[in-house]
Structure 1
Amino acid sequence: MILLTSLSFLFLAIVGLDLVYLIVNQALNRGPRFFYIVPEQKAMVIERLGRYNRVIKAGLHFVIPHIEKPRKIYWHYSFNPFTGAPEPTNISTELIDLKEFPYDLPQQLVITKDNAQIAIDVFIVVKILEPRRVIYAVENFPLAIEAMTKAGLRNLIGGLELDETLTSRPVINAQLHEYLKEKTQAWGVSITSAEITDITPSHKVSEAMNLQAIAERKKRSVAIQGDAEAAMLRAAKEVLGDPKAASNYLATLRYVNAFRNLISQKDGKVVFIPYESSHLLGALGSIRELFESEKTKPSNGSEQNPEGH
């Protein structure tokens, strides 16, 4: 009886030491593992003898050593997904992140329908829904997302002119979102957001846009000046009662303004003007006196006698 008890105790001690040894090896990642602890919002794909078996999520999970093991993932990014730096990054892991992951993609160069080169910054948010598909349906998920985004931008921007691209950003965002959702549906992911954060035309395009803006402002200025002169002509016709005299008045006024600008640009030097300009200036003075006399007339058109009682 005492011998049996001693053997049982020895057996339990050996089993306990083996368990401690295995647990220590598991903690130090040495030797075959028989259990895995998966954190929250993470997943792991388990393969049995090289074939897909199951997906395990948050919690403690046991596997059969040497027969079952997690699928190793090798993903390549054209940028650093942790810092956003524009440097190629390789990631090797067994855990798949199930949280929404933001992709601040590198700047993309695209050409519009009217052959204007622009640089576009795109920000997309991706959520993995089915870890099995994202591993087996696409070779390198991050680069595939980036390549699909580039293709979508080129297709959309290539059908728009520069002005439409700069003013239709919400429409482009919606179309890009739908394009990515459709193309990545078989990958087991969800594109929750796709936003164009910045559109930067090339240097030559920016210069052309500035020149166009200057020309548009000059055009509006000329139009405003023409409207003002037309209003002045109508007012002169009402006061003078003669369309020809009103036209002569405006022509003389324009001549005087041009003469003033000419004098102001000569820095005090002598300026010769034609003899006929004196007649124009005299006519302008006469017309101005006529304007003043018209303004001082009584509103009822009758004169009052200052001596009348």
Structure 2
Amino acid sequence: MISNSTLILGTIFIAVLLAASSIRILREYERAVLFTLGRFTGVKGPGLILVFPFIQTIARVDMRTVVLDVPTQDLISRDNVSVHVNAVIYFRVIDPERAIIQVEQFVDATSQLAQTTLRSVLGKHELDELLAERDKLNKDIQDIIDTHTNAWGIEVANVEIKHVDIDETMVRAMAKQAEAERERRARVINAEGEEQAAQKLHEAAEILSSRPEAMQLRYLGALGTIAGEKSSTIVFPFPVEFGRFFENFSSKNAAD
């Protein structure tokens, strides 16, 4: 027969095991969703909590920000360009109860939602917008994902598009387009410069034609420039008055 002392020791041993198995220690960033006989009965932690074996169970939830790398997605932009895009999402659990009860494997669910949203949003834009308006696209994607994950107790803090890759043939086509655009701008700038120069020359000619002495000063300035260049060629300006004198003289002789 079992003695009383043995029975007491066995009872104490079982009690110690039950007490040890009922103790849970949660870190500062952890919370425990507690279920009693399968029903939700509260959120516990951090610190030491007691869970009655066989009656209560817990689901641990990490409250820290999760960095989720979205796999590369193949999509077609609105201008029919094949693009490979990947992104990174920062989110965290703000309601452990909903994160456990409302969705199964909330990390995987958020990842799948991010992939479909990335393809849906970026497919509505042209390639130039994908390359130049990343901040706006990041905000649009974040708002859409956050709207859906809010029901799961998850808050999306940020979305960043990391890479937008295109085919090699498209890269060469874009390089040719950029080169053609640079040439066009250079020609436009050159034409505008010619137009402005012609306008200034026209204004200068009008001023010089109205003031003969200004033309003489211009001649003298040109002589000074030629002399300063140490050239062996000497140029003498032909005064306009001499030309007018010979013109009048020849007209008089023709009349006589």
TM-score by length of 2: 0.69
| Structure 2 CA distance for partners of 1:295 and 1:53, relative to 1, 3 Å | same
In the alignment, structure 1 residue 137 sits paired with structure 2 residue 137: no
Match of 1:225 among 186, 190, 200: 190
**Aligned 1:267-306 pairs, distance under 5 A:** 296=222
Aligned residue in 2 for 1:60? 48
Deviations along 1:76-106, one digit per CA (max 9) or x if unpaired, are xxxxxxxxxxxxxxxxxx5221111111222
* Cα drift, residue 121 of structure 1: 2.7
Query: For 2:205 and 2:14, how far apart are their aligned partners in 1?
Result: 118
Match of 1:145, SS?
helix
Match of 2:82 among 100, 117, 138: 117
In the alignment, structure 1 residue 41 sits paired with structure 2 residue 6: no
- Bigger shift: residues 231-240 or 195-204: 231-240
Amino acid at match of 2:25: I
Equivalent residues of 2:73, 2:119 under 8 A apart: no
Aligned residue in 1 for 2:71? 106
Equivalent residues of 1:110, 1:153 under 8 A apart: no
Amino acid at match of 2:71: P
* Cα drift, residue 173 of structure 1: 1.5
| Identical pairs, percent | 27
Amino acid at match of 1:185: N
Query: For 1:125 and 1:206, how far apart are their aligned partners in 2?
Result: 31
Query: For 1:144 and 1:49, how far apart are their aligned partners in 2?
Result: 27
**Aligned 1:1-309 pairs, distance under 5 A:** 17-18=13-14, 33-70=21-58, 94-230=59-195, 233=198, 296=222
* Cα drift, residue 52 of structure 1: 2.8
Deviations along 1:118-172, one digit per CA (max 9) or x if unpaired, are 2223121111112221122122322221221122222322222111222211111
Query: For 2:219 and 2:186, how far apart are their aligned partners in 1?
Result: 33
Higher helix share: 2
Equivalent residues of 2:71, 2:115 under 8 A apart: no
Query: For 1:178 and 1:184, how far apart are their aligned partners in 2?
Result: 10
* Cα drift, residue 297 of structure 1: 6.5
Question: Gaps spanning 5+ residues in structure 1: where?
Answer: 1-6, 27-32, 71-93, 242-291, 304-309
TM-score by length of 1: 0.58
Deviations along 1:1-59, one digit per CA (max 9) or x if unpaired, are xxxxxx8x988766654455557xx5xxxxxx322222221122232333333322212
* Cα drift, residue 180 of structure 1: 1.3
Count of aligned residue pairs for this structure pair: 214
Match of 1:61, SS?
strand
Question: Gaps spanning 5+ residues in structure 2: where?
Answer: 207-217, 225-238, 242-256
The structure, 1 or 2, with the larger RCO (C-alpha pairs under 8 Å, 6+ apart) is 2
Equivalent residues of 1:104, 1:122 under 8 A apart: yes
- Give the superposed CA RMSD: 3.5
| Structure 2 CA distance for partners of 1:235 and 1:294, relative to 1, 3 Å | farther
Aligned residue in 2 for 1:84? none
Query: For 1:149 and 1:161, how far apart are their aligned partners in 2?
Result: 20
Equivalent residues of 1:96, 1:131 under 8 A apart: yes
* Cα drift, residue 191 of structure 1: 0.8
Equivalent residues of 1:42, 1:58 under 8 A apart: yes
